[in-house]
Amino acid sequence: MTKEEDKGADIEKMISEIKKLMPGIDSSNGLIAQSDCVIFRKDGTWAFNDSVAVRSEFTLGFDGAIPAQKLMSLLNRFKGKEEVVTEIKGNEYHLSRQDYRKDGRKAGIRKGSIKFQPEHNFMKYDIAMPTRWRPLPEDFCDAVLATSKVTGREEHKFTLTCIHITPDFVEACDNTQLIRWKTQTGFRTDVLIPNRVAMSIMKHKVVEAGLTKGWVHFRDKDGITYSARTHDDKYPDMDPFYDVKGDRITFPEKLSNLAQEVSSISSGGRDADVLMKLSEDTLVMESHSLEMSLSDTLPINYKGEPISFYIHPQICVYLSENARRTIVNATRMKVWTTEFQYVAVLQSA
């Protein structure tokens, strides 16, 4: 490869652009070749981990693959106001920076380099792009991120680990909680996306979407394309579970803050959810880890039998701040907010 030099490389921009590619990076030594790498081409940059492909028009002017985490580590060591010069020497990407003292005199010189694998050593992921892109509603990312709080965690029940996107709503269920956010998504057919994939993409505030065979594609305002594999499983019909009748209750205003404090001591996973117990005029929130436990008791206008359920702390924010109506019976609790409906399947306390 010929030697090329770029004076005044924008390191902050490079770091920002590579961060956008992270949904397509798998740093766990996955089965897909170079899934831990950023794949640079002269016409753009890719990251692909079999579930997600991300493409950007950003380029460093060469063809090659560099491990993403190692590249980010190197670039972070060159952040600052000083000008950075980059060079391509063979199969290495070089950086150098002249540092200066406060009085303007030259200080030391920092140099670094990282090897990349030549173009012919990595697979090309030529995924067909949609011929038509549809705008997403303004609340689409919020809808996906909210429903992601109640997706299942059991891989043998794969369908419930997915976000279910339909033309009229976005929903999720973990077998004990359900949430359905009504919005006109712009999709003409149902789409299933694994929760972890959907979360990693929605954080980038996508504004458009399109479909091709086996893939759903999202695009952000800067033109970065996020492509995720879709799944053909049929999502269960959740309509009957939303038919709930019971007594009306109102959650305390302090619920969201206390729920987040209580959950902070948890050990993660299912334990990240808060255990809520309702008994006459009393609401108890509990969280446990191997070493600690924490609980808060609050007054509430409840007169029914003792019941309990697990709930994500973020959902508690909606229950205390956005709930328009909440009803509860011996088996289920249903909450209406301005954005969605939420149902929890209850247990005898």
Query: Does 126 map to a domain?
Result: no
Residue type for 262, please?
V
Domain extent for 297? 244-348
Going residue by residue through the chain, which has 349 residues, state the pLDDT in tens, using 9 for 90 and above.
344 555 556 889 899 999 999 999 987 666 666 788 899 988 889 898 888 999 999 888 888 899 999 999 999 999 887 788 999 998 899 999 888 888 878 888 999 999 998 765 455 567 889 999 999 999 999 999 999 989 988 888 899 999 999 999 999 999 889 999 999 999 999 999 999 999 999 999 999 999 999 999 999 999 999 999 999 889 999 999 999 998 888 888 777 777 777 777 665 544 467 888 989 999 998 887 778 888 889 898 888 888 888 887 777 777 777 778 889 888 888 999 888 999 988 765 5
Looking at 241, 273, 291, the residue that finishes a domain is 241
Q: Is the pTM of this model over 0.85?
A: no
Here the tokens at position 173 are: 């269920």
pLDDT tens digits along 271-290: 467 888 989 999 998 887 77
Whether 163 is in a domain gets the answer yes
What's the pLDDT tens digit per position in 183-228?
999 999 999 999 999 999 999 999 999 999 999 999 999 999 999 9
Number of structural domains found in the chain:
3
In terms of domains, do 141 and 114 share one?
no
H/E element, 143: helix 140-147
Same domain, 234 and 250: no
- Answer with the one of 66, 99, 121 that is the final residue of a domain: 121
The interaxial angle of helices 140-147 and 195-202, nearest 10 deg, is: 140
Q: What is the CATH number of the domain that holds 58?
A: 3.10.150.10
Q: Which of 75, 96, 121 is the last residue of a domain?
A: 121
Q: Are both 110 and 152 inside the same structural domain?
A: no
Report if residue 255 sits inside a domain: yes
Residue 127 lies in a domain: no
Cα separation of 122 and 105, whole Å?
A: 45
Strand, coil or helix: 150: helix
Following DSSP, what letter does each residue of 293-332 receive, concatenated?
EEEEEEE----S--EEEEE-HHHHHHHHHTEEEEEE-SSE
CB 24 within 8 A of CB 34: no
Is 207 a domain residue? yes
Question: 183, 143 in Cβ contact below 8 A?
Answer: yes
The reply to whether 27 and 108 lie within a common domain is yes
**In a shared domain, residues 237 and 163:** yes
Strand partners of residue 55: 46, 225
Query: Nearest CA to 249 among 318, 304, 314?
Result: 304
